[in-house]
Amino acid sequence: MGRVDDVKFTAKLGDREHFPDLEALVYCNHAAISPPSWPVRRAMQNAIADWGKRGSQAFGTYGAQRSRLREKIARLVGASAEEIAFVPNTSSGVTAIALSFPWKRGDRVILFEGEFPANVTPWLRAGELFGVTPVFLPLSDFQESDERGLGRLAEELAKGARLVAVSAVQFRTGLRMPLGEMARLCHTHGAELFVDGIQATGAVPVDVRALGIDYWASGGHKWLMGPEGTGMLYVRKERVEALEPYVAGWLSHEDAVRFLLEGPGHMRYDRPLKKRADVFEVGCINAIGLVGLEAAVDVVDELGVEKIYAHVVRWGDAVEAGLVERGFTSLRAAEANRRSGILAVLPPKDIDVVALHRALLGRGISTAIPDGVLRFSPHWPNNVDEAEQVLLSMEDALAELRGAPRPRSDDW
């Protein structure tokens, strides 16, 4: 059981109790933005009220809160607290590493066609600034089989590369990548592995240390179900020393606030930069947002990522079967261990995906259409029983788009 101040709450798989204002009949768009739960909203409201009452005297309270949250996030992803930095979003985490990595002119970075741009643009910018050559491999190899994808990656690593950047879960198809095998290949060839984890953190089990991942960045507003403007960056402690922070601020230093608290004689500009992940926390941070993120992480901890993962996969199983029967093509991985919380499908050839998306939204079914696929992304509040509502709404939408007689309301 979690709590926000003196108010207790209990989260249950398949229960929308903590989303009293959510308008959608079926909200399955968590891979885009998750609505904040009541515990998250209450925690942030309480924090704002506290800041309004105490002003700067609240500083210590929220410094301690961030330390607590750092520990919780570290446990969630299998890291230590010193390996975690708070960042405002995934893009900031990717950029921090892309521009701070110890590149040499002529180095190569391996990227993948079809990745979300947040895990491509910073590496291309590094190429422009430092003379790094980007090499793109097709994700279709991994969609065909791990063996084919890993074989192609091994061939490219053998030609020389400093780093591989990939998403833990592909935003368009939901394909869960074989990160452990990819990390081992990278390290065998003297390369490092960066992972964009935003489509995994909170809904797919992960242990970054056990998998051998070197860097992991994730925003807090998707599967963690925290507010926008929050996120985390994991930097394997063995990698920190070699990084050359491209951007640094006053809080990047050791003992950065000492001169504000201990009287005269402590303000210096020569304090060393931190040799921890939080060297990338360069200035004032989203304190209220991180309070909300802690409440969200507490819910995930309470339910358990393993149970959440099993729950969203079951939801996907139920909806996928019905959609395939209705002429949709599933892009979901055939292997169970390559599935995630995302179910992506292609509609029948006579149906426009944009029109279908709008028709579903008009019926209270919230989905997304990234790069032309219809994407469902349920989370712990979704109930497997929603599959019937989704499929009935789909039949009604298809009938409308085809100009056919629509099912009567008493058939629902």
pLDDT confidence of residue 406: 53
What is the Cα–Cα distance from 72 to 64, expressed in whole angstroms? 13
* pLDDT level of residue 266 (50, 70, 90 thresholds): confident
Tell me which residue has tokens 């989303």: 19
Nearest alpha-carbon partner for 227 in 22, 35, 45? 35
Nearest alpha-carbon partner for 236 in 79, 43, 52? 79
pLDDT surpassing 60 at residue 2? no
pLDDT surpassing 90 at residue 311? yes
By DSSP bridging, strand 108-113 and strand 163-167 are: parallel
Tell me which residue has tokens 């390369």: 191
Tokens of 409: 């309301």
Q: Helices 305-325 and 287-303: crossing angle, nearest 10°?
A: 80
Tokens of 53: 């009452």
What dihedral do alpha carbons 61, 65, 68, 72 form, nearest 10°?
Answer: 170
* pLDDT level of residue 260 (50, 70, 90 thresholds): confident
Instruction: Identify whether the C-beta of residue 173 lies closer than 8 Å to the C-beta of residue 335.
Output: no
Q: Do 59-300 and 304-411 fold alike per CATH?
A: no
Tokens of 20: 């009293």
**Helix ranges, 229-385 (H):** 237-240, 258-261, 287-303, 305-325, 353-362
- HSE-up of 179 (CA within 13 Å, CB side)? 27
Mean pLDDT for the stretch of residues 320-346: 97
Mean pLDDT for the stretch of residues 346-365: 98
Instruction: Identify whether the C-beta of residue 342 lies closer than 8 Å to the C-beta of residue 375.
Output: yes
What is the Cα–Cα distance from 372 to 9, expressed in whole angstroms? 39
Q: What is the mean pLDDT of the chain?
A: 95
Mean pLDDT for the stretch of residues 111-119: 98
How do residues 186-231 score in pLDDT, each as one tens digit? 999 999 999 999 999 999 999 999 999 999 999 999 999 999 999 9
Instruction: Identify whether the C-beta of residue 85 lies closer than 8 Å to the C-beta of residue 232.
Output: yes
Tokens of 180: 């452990």
H/E stretch holding 389 reads helix 386-402
* pLDDT level of residue 3 (50, 70, 90 thresholds): very low
pLDDT surpassing 60 at residue 1? no
pTM of the model: 0.94
- Residues 6 or more apart whose CB falls under 8 angstroms from that of 156 comprise 110, 135, 137
Instruction: Identify whether the C-beta of residue 34 lies closer than 8 Å to the C-beta of residue 223.
Output: yes
* pLDDT level of residue 353 (50, 70, 90 thresholds): very high
Q: Any idea where the domains of the chain sit in the sequence?
A: 59-300, 304-411
What's the topology of domain 59-300?
Aspartate Aminotransferase; domain 2 (3.40.640)
How do residues 400-410 score in pLDDT, each as one tens digit? 999 966 554 44
Alpha-carbon distances, residue 35 vs 28, 337, 367 (angstroms): 11, 27, 13
Alpha-carbon distances, residue 38 vs 4, 167, 201, 216 (angstroms): 10, 30, 20, 28
Tell me which residue has tokens 């970075």: 109
pLDDT surpassing 60 at residue 175? yes
pLDDT surpassing 50 at residue 179? yes
In the 3-class helix/strand/coil scheme, how is 153-194 assigned residue by residue?
A: HHHHHHCCCCEEEEECECCCCCCECCHHHHHHHHHHCCCEEE
CATH of domain 304-411: 3.90.1150.10
To the nearest whole percent, how much of the chain has pLDDT over 90? 90
* pLDDT level of residue 17 (50, 70, 90 thresholds): very high
Nearest alpha-carbon partner for 59 in 241, 235, 261? 261
